[in-house]
Amino acid sequence: MKKNKNTILETAKQTIIAESNAISNLVNFLTEDFENAVKFIHKSNGRLIVTGIGKSAKIADKIVATLNSTGTPAIFMHAADAIHGDLGNIQKNDVVMCISKSGNTPEIKVLVPFIKNYGNKIIALTGNTQSYLGLNADFVLNCYVEKEVCPNNLAPTTSTTAQLVIGDALAVCLLDLNDFSSKDFAKYHPGGALGKKLYLRVSDLINKNELPQVVTTTPIKDVIIEISKKRLGTTAVIENNKIVGIVTDGDLRRMLKDNSDISELTAVNIMSENPKTIQVDAMAIEALETMENNNITQILVEDNTKYVGVVHLHDLLKEGLF
């Protein structure tokens, strides 16, 4: 029998509520072991090796990605591969975190003694603190969930979500201890829009553009030519290298609408005074925010008080900032 729309939506709501309740309950399982594990990783001169089997291995891989991107060196090691040669990844000062819901999977039970023989500390991320893994680890992080949201209580769902949340908590605590800043984040995320938001500056954009400029006495004909020639839809009006106004395509349209004779007009007659500006060393994302907040498509750029360029909304669009 096909389920109707309401039944599907109700199942989705119940799933989300059940998982959110299980996650909220994790705060009751935080112990000194969590704090001590974070401190030990932070003081370690090695890396954090994260391992697991099945769905836990996929969670381990994601946790490693989060750790690496937030300043904690980490390596993913599949538990099955570990006992077939990948144990060589573990170096003297490394810490190993094993992820297992039951803590009794065969691969984990084989792996743990080898790690202990190497002298490396073991962190258990498990839903069963009395399991083989839990009893043989140096630090135990409890991610117990009462049941999976799977109707058969079989498919890893709530349990893997809980593992991921504990992994995030671990990463954020280490991030905090490392005083990891937005500049550090940009260093590890140089690609794509995310990285550009963190490192791209206004100075990187204006070098690609022309420098449209007129003075207050420039005739309207020449103002139009300057705007058309520089192809930015605007020109700065300057005196002594300082911005005194701006003329945009919109100003030209309003001028033509309001004046039948433009032969005597100059830039000062149609310019907008006190235009929005931004400093050359500002972040590009600040330029975007200023444009959005003021409903404009160009912003003039200054180096202290000297006019040095224009940033157009299209420049930010090309960089993928929105």
Annotated binding site for Zn(2+): 78
Q: How far apart are CA 33 and CA 12, in angstroms?
A: 35
Residue 233 zone, left/alpha/beta (φ > 0; ψ -120 to 50; rest) = left
CB 232 within 8 A of CB 312: yes
Q: How far apart are CA 307 and CA 211, in angstroms?
A: 9
Q: How far apart are CA 27 and CA 44, in angstroms?
A: 26
CB 267 within 8 A of CB 237: yes
Q: How far apart are CA 216 and CA 235, in angstroms?
A: 11
Q: How far apart are CA 263 and CA 214, in angstroms?
A: 17
- SS3 assignment, position 285: helix
Q: Identify the residue whose tokens are 């058309």.
A: 228
> Could you tell me which of 66, 91, 45, 32 has the C-alpha nearest to residue 163?
66
CB 142 within 8 A of CB 127: yes
Residue numbers in the known binding site are 78
Q: How far apart are CA 316 and CA 287, in angstroms?
A: 9
Q: How far apart are CA 63 and CA 75, in angstroms?
A: 10
With the C-alpha atoms ordered 76, 107, 114, 83, is the resulting torsion angle positive or negative? negative
**306-312 vs 298-303, strand pairing mode:** antiparallel
**Cβ neighbours, 10 Å, residue 264:** 9
